[in-house]
Structure 1
Amino acid sequence: MRTSKPDTVSAVLARGRLGIPSVVFFVIAAAAPLTVVAGGATTGYAVTGVVGIPVSYLVVAAILALFAVGYVAMSRRIVNAGAFYTYVTHGLGKPAGVATAFVALLAYNAMQIGLYGGFGAVLAQFLQDRYGWNTTWWLCALAAWAAVTVLGLLRIDLNGKVLAVVLVAECAVAVVFDVVMVSNPAAGVSFDTLAPSHIFAAGIGAALVTAITGFVGFEGTVVFSEETKDPRRTVPRATYIAVAVIGLLYGLPAWAMSVATGPDMIVDAARADGTDLMFNLVSPHLGSSVVTVGRVLFITSLFAALLAFHHTVARYLFALGRERVLPAWLGRTSRRTGAPKAGSIVQSVIAVAVLIGYAVAGADPIVHLFFWITVTGGLGVLILMTVTSAAVVGFFARTPHRDGLWRTAIAPLAAAGALGAILVVTIEEFDVLLGVSATSPLRWWFPAAYGIAAVLGTVWAVIVRATRPDVFTAIGLGADSATAPVRTPDATRQPV
């Protein structure tokens, strides 16, 4: 009996539809600049009590730039929507690769679904304050879910245009707000919160964890590699541009807020005003309509991130289905749009199921869905980047190349060390990030979910190797797996 597999046409993503700008828009949209600035930076100040939040963003940007050296070196050799999964497969072996895939699916689903809580709550509050409409967070979240579900099935370049409009508006408002805050300092323009000395201050570990969570999404450049016009050129440039732009979009506004309040008052101001801090600081100096536009873009920033992470999850499911690690029907694309139709629908189904569960349970959308789940998603991506750095070293150690030691060994090893150190701090301080007591079992349950996912992935890889060796052989081949030989009763290998 032949093993079911997607046909060659439907197993290939639409090629040549994305250039460098489109890929950059996707990954920066996933990082949600205005959401992180208005929510993440202020929360970082309030929760950690550390004034070095701005410099922590810049430090994390530098570490991720170091990670990107080996990451893009791999992207020039391997073009596959599986990204982390594919790289770990080639660098550390197929069982480790499948384990990574399971971790990635859990992490990116957590990031995407958690954002619905923030979007629903923020939009519901805006409608109440602005128009007096009394609605619930889950109705707003379901409206966003419907829009994401539809857009997820359309052409990828159309989605890129939608994200481009939203992102350009976000960045323009962020720059205007930065200029206003710096132009109206509390007591002169101070660069204290950007001082390198804060890197060694007490509590900087929690600040770095907060910062690195905000960068989740930049690594998605590789996920779209099969749909770019020139992946070996587009992916590296888009990755470096994304890291630099995101670092500036986070670091500068966080610093500007400290200038407007005064470095010694930024923590107290963040604790008092929360996510309204930035808007409250610029309100006296800008018209109400401009501030309202900023609040609207705060909401659209969340939506843009929802859409970007939806595409990431859909492409991971596609990559695993195409290689038949997961059911083969997941590896099918729409013949009309080239989008990974099956993976997109599955992600939407998972998301709506979770939303209904939270709505029925009456859980807090901000604390229990947005904050807890996205922080957990960020932890998963941190794990993925750490393991991938090690995989880069393993791959180039066995592969003839002329890329030099810096790209293939020194930079990846340094990135693995730095990311590993942040990972240790993250797990140690996960109770602080969740806002629970040090004795709460929740501080271990969330990180343990990734350990369980990794074990399940490894066990599944072993089962596949024993029961479907042809599928095991094709793991990590990407588009080539669509035409890989399939085992039949008559022959060990037979082309399909």
Structure 2
Amino acid sequence: MSQPPPDNRLARNALNLPDLVFTVLATLAPLTLVMAVAPLHFLKGGPAVPGGYLVAAAVMALFAVGFCTMTRYVRNTGAFYAIITKGLGPIAGAAAAMLAVVAYNALQVSTYGAIGYYAGSSAARFLGISCPWWVFAGAALIAVGYLGYRGITTSAKVLAAVLIAEIAVLIIMAVAVFATGGPEGFSARPFEPSTVLSVHNSAMFALIFGAFMGFECTAIYAEEVKGGASTVRRATYLAVGFIGIFYAVITYAIVTAYGADHIAAAAAADPAELALNVVADYTSSILLDITEVLLLLSAFAALLALHNASNRYAFALGREGLLPRAFGSTHHRTHAPLVAGVAQSALAAVVLALFVIFGLDPYLGLLLWGSALGFLGIIVLWAFCSLAVMVYLRRHAPEAGLWRTTVAPVLSFAVLAVVVVLVFANFDFLTAGGPVVNTVLIVAAGLAIVGGAARAGYLRRTNPDAYLALGRTEAGVDQ
């Protein structure tokens, strides 16, 4: 294990447990997911969605068993990269690293599409201002770059404030629905196995697992949290539990608001307004206005959280030579990734410029295409991380027990491999694009994998010491 030089280290003890949990949950953008993405879940799964969240949470809890056990042996901001390197070797680790960089950047850049779309809508409604979407996206890019430069502590405070407001709005909506019972009363159908596990729900599950993207970011901040591995483990389990239970409750409220027999038809008729109509019908116009404003802030919070995750991956790879060494530098005062952060913002600016030049849609293009590429990359990384955990723990930590070293990782790998297949099978639905778009996105993920493996192979031939050090730069290991 090697230590990074002092001027290339992230801020130590910058985050406590609540900071880490808020930062990770903000990545998931709860309000944006419920208002903008959950209607697609209902479109494909109808009343099965609440139960689907509980099933997905159970799978991700299995994944978390091995993932959290590995945090005892890995404390590296390039989380997937370091874990897969330890389990499957530097070639596989470097391939995973490049895929992670592409996936997180795709997710981050795609969120600018949501910002532009929702900000334009809110400005027109509340201020009577009509501006191109890219004006708002550009303003968000500058704000995110600045907050990322200020360091993770400042970002955590912003993310916590927005997240608390998001959760409060959704809880108020759910309580209002449950107080009336909806048109059909309370139904057990959303949790019945025959409903949830129907073979017709494959597309629903492909989408629902996407709601968990980002919970693994707990390990990305392993070098910056107080308490090290123990804090990462607690935050991971809290995040998985919260996502599964909270989304199950909120989506059950939406099912109750429309009725189990009518939710699928309602989603098909008006997916964009499905959840917003529940706020309007069961609460008040004031809360509806607040919700629409918070929807914009929710997307911004996710944007900031994903920016921090993306530049930390690039920082980790620059520190070890998979990307140019300059990417491994940090600001002398805030200890935030410096060149990696600037490069991430520059990449986002280039992508936004291309979408403007070619007149592409911010929602149907930037948001859907980028999020589909990101989800594909993350779900593949989840699967291979489970495999790497099993290989490493069985070889080097058998004392961790059969459940942690074998049973949980094998089960999670098996289920996540199926989810990867489901994502490929439903990729056209995820992108809402044609064969050309789908092919380009899948090829981009493949090129990232090949490029990472090739870079590691080059290091093995030209710099064996650097090759052997891949994935091993760590900030100490806390039990």
Same fold per superposition (TM over 0.5): yes
Indicate the residue corresponding to 1:131 in structure 2. Answer: 127
| Structure 1 counterpart of 2:189 | 192
Report the AA paired with residue 181 of structure 1. Answer: V
Structure 1 counterpart of 2:245 = 248
What are the Cα deviations for residues 309-344 of structure 1, in whole angstroms up to 9, with x where unaligned? 101111111111111221111111111001111111
Determine whether 1:80 maps to 2:94. Answer: no
Matches within 5 A, 1:112-151: 112-151=108-147
C-alpha contact (below 8 Å) 1:81/1:223 kept by paired residues? yes
Q: 1:385 and 1:7, CA in 2 relative to 1: closer, same or farther beyond 3 A? A: closer
Matches within 5 A, 1:33-182: 33-46=30-43, 48=44, 50-182=46-178
1:419 counterpart = 2:424: no
Contact 1:114–1:371 (Cα < 8 Å) also in 2: yes
Q: What is the CA–CA distance in structure 1 between the aligned matches of 2:273 and 2:397, rounded to whole Å?
A: 54
What amino acid sits opposite 1:362 in the alignment? G
The 3-state SS of whatever aligns with 1:77 is: coil
Contact 2:62 / 2:408 at 8 angstroms: preserved in 1? yes
1:459 maps to which residue?
A: 454
Instruction: Assess if the C-alpha contact under 8 Å between 2:49 and 2:196 holds in 1.
Output: no
- Structure 1: 4+ residue segments shifted above 6 A: none
- Figure out how many residues of one structure are paired with residues of the other and give that number: 474
Counterparts of 1:300-339 in structure 2, within 5 Å, are 300-339=297-336
Q: Which amino acid aligns with 1:322?
A: R
State the 1:275 CA deviation.
2.7
Quick check: 263-272 or 226-235, which moved more? 263-272
Could you tell me which residue of structure 1 aligns to residue 21 of structure 2?
Answer: 24
Task: Give the letter aligned to residue 110 of structure 2.
Answer: G
Gaps of 5+ in 2: none
Correspondence 1:340-351 to 2 at 5 A: 340-351=337-348
Does the 8 Å contact 1:94/1:475 carry over to 2?
yes
Give me the CA root mean square deviation: 1.7
Residues 269-280 of structure 1 aligned to structure 2 (within 5 Å): 269-280=266-277
Per the TM alignment, residue 27 of structure 1 is displaced from its structure 2 partner at its CA by 0.8
What is the match of residue 222 of structure 2?
225
1:358-377 mapped onto 2 (5 Å cutoff): 358-377=355-374
- Between the aligned partners of 2:98 and 2:113, the Cα distance in structure 1 is 23
* CA-to-aligned-CA distance 1:157-177 (integer Å, 9 cap, x gap): 111111111001111111001
Alpha-carbon offset, residue 353 of structure 1? 0.6
Partner Cα distance (2:40, 2:421) in 1? 21
Conservation of the 8 A alpha-carbon contact between 1:322 and 1:479: no
1:398 to 395, 400, 410: 395
Whole-Å separation in 2 of the counterparts to 1:103 and 1:295: 34
CA shift, 1:436, in A, is 4.5
The answer as to whether partners of 2:368 and 2:432 remain within 8 angstroms in 1 is no
Deviation readout 1:274-305 (Å, 9 max, x if unpaired): 23222212323433222111111111111111
Note if 1:450 corresponds to 2:445.
yes
C-alpha distance in 2, partners of 1:400/1:479? 18
Equivalent-residue separation in structure 2 for 1:403 and 1:413 (angstroms) = 15
TM-score in terms of structure 1 length: 0.93
* Amino-acid identity (%): 38
Shift, 1:135, TM fit: 0.9
Instruction: Tell me the distance in 2 between the aligned counterparts of 1:42 and 1:434.
Output: 15
Partners in 2 of 1:345 and 1:450 — Cα distance? 23
Structure 1 181/273 Cα, relative in aligned 2: closer, same or farther at 3 Å? farther
Q: Distance in 2 between matches of 1:397 and 1:201?
A: 35
Q: Aligned in 2, Cα 1:241/1:480: closer, same or farther, shift over 3 Å?
A: closer
Assess if the C-alpha contact under 8 Å between 1:11 and 1:479 holds in 2. no
How far residue 431 of structure 1 moved from its aligned partner, in angstroms, is: 1.8
1:63-105 Cα distance to aligned partner (Å, 9 max, x none): 1111000000001111110100000000000010000001001
Distance 1:449 1:304 in 2: 26
SS across alignment from 1:188: coil
**Cα distance in 2, alignment partners of residues 199 and 187 from structure 1:** 19
> CA-to-partner distance for each residue in 1:397-447, whole Å, 9 max, x for gaps?
22144210111111001100000011111112212322346xx24334322
Aligned counterparts of 1:49 and 1:87: Cα–Cα separation in 2: 34
The equivalent residue for 2:352 is 355
Asked if 1:212 corresponds to 2:203, the answer is: no
Secondary structure, in 3 states, of the residue corresponding to 1:133? coil
Residue deviations 1:2-55, cap 9 Å, x none?
Answer: xxxx97122111111111111101110001111111111112222x25331221
Give 1:186 deviation, angstroms.
1.3
Identify if the C-alpha distance between structure 1 residues 25 and 77 changes in structure 2 by more than 3 Å, giving closer, same or farther. same
Residue 484 of structure 1 aligns with which residue?
none
CA deviation profile, 1:179-199 (whole Å, cap 9, x unmatched): 112223012122322222223
**Distance of aligned partners of 1:20 and 1:133 in 2 relative to their CA distance in 1, 3 Å threshold:** same
- Deviation of the 1:394 alpha carbon: 1.2
Other-structure match for 2:471: 476
